[in-house]
Chains A and B, each alone.
Chain A
């Protein structure tokens, strides 16, 4: 009994060490600051440990990713201090550290449908591999590539009007 409990603890430790940093990275992308992200990651793994040890839940990245989404969602509702990185950046477009191109891209991302925006975040901001994203979304990697291609295309289109508008404005 004790041996089995120790084995379960070791399994969780290995899972934690393998996935803590990516969960923290995702949290950093979605919350306003390192402290909030570390708090969220702590909540995620506390919930994961409880469900793993009490209910026999299977450890997997898609599972903890979903827990993180719930934690972040709760955080948004509970505290107005936490905002999406995109919203935060949109509120402060005059940041001298930001190039015009970065601001344009973030604005364009904000105009995409949520599903495509989330996909681009996952693929390019949250450090997730294609295999991991496919597992989280419950789709094949082939289907993921198709969706990513479509999302990039939508972003390209979303970036067009600004360019066209500037061009038109000169006439």
Chain B
């Protein structure tokens, strides 16, 4: 170790090290993550069905509070669940497509419900959604879905994208 390496190591901010054992939280999260997978697809479709049914009969209160995401905060839900449910409501099909839909969103051209559904399904598949939280926008209950490079705001009742905030903080409304 030369003098510069020693200086850098001595300037290291306080934190744990990689040789520490897994915490109780980490163990719980692993169990929840791997254990719940077997039922995940069923849960996704069940959630989508409940939301659609609740909207159809006009009883918003039937929409369940999001199940606590064990590996994140209690107000959050797996973002892929949100995207999947929204895309289903908009009529997405799992056919192949590209990111062109995102361009259309930004350009405001041809951004039909079908295009939105394609976009949501695409984001779900490529895994760029990091987090989803409940919120309100213009008086409507929405999901705020944080992406690798921005944030999508999706109305819970319709599944429609109402706002996209890009990485620079600019707002785009279809």
Chain A interface residues toward B at CB < 8 A: 5, 9, 12-13, 16-17, 20-22, 24-25, 28-29, 34, 37-39, 41-43, 45-47, 49-51, 53, 55, 70-71, 73-74, 77-78, 85, 89, 101-102, 105-106, 109, 120, 124-125, 127, 152, 155-156, 159
List of A residues within 8 angstroms of B16 by Cβ? 21, 24-25, 28, 34
Given A21-B20, A105-B8, A125-B8, A28 and B15 contact (CB-CB distance below 8 Å): yes
> DSSP class of A's interface residues: helix, strand, loop or mixed?
helix
CA–CA, A74 and B166, complex, Å: 11
16 pairs of residues in contact across A and B, judged by CB atoms under 8 Å: A29-B15, A37-B15, A38-B23, A38-B25, A39-B72, A39-B73, A41-B26, A42-B29, A46-B69, A46-B71, A46-B78, A50-B80, A74-B148, A101-B7, A105-B8, A105-B11
Q: Is B138 an interface residue (CB 8 A)?
A: no
CA–CA, A78 and B146, complex, Å: 8
Chain B, 75-101, contact with A by CB distance < 8 Å: what is the 0/1 string? 000101000000000000000000000
Cβ distance A167 to chain B, nearest Cβ, rounded Å: 19
Q: Is B170 an interface residue (CB 8 A)?
A: no
Chain B interface residues toward A at CB < 8 A: 2, 4-5, 7-13, 15-23, 25-26, 29-30, 33-34, 37-38, 69, 71-73, 78, 80, 125, 127-128, 130-131, 146-148, 151, 167
- Beyond known contacts A21-B19, A70-B128, A101-B11: 19 more, CB 8 A cutoff: A13-B30, A20-B26, A21-B18, A21-B22, A28-B13, A41-B26, A43-B72, A45-B71, A46-B72, A50-B127, A74-B131, A74-B148, A78-B146, A85-B13, A105-B7, A105-B10, A106-B11, A152-B2, A152-B5
List of B residues within 8 angstroms of A28 by Cβ? 13, 15-16
Most buried by A among B12, B17, B22: B12
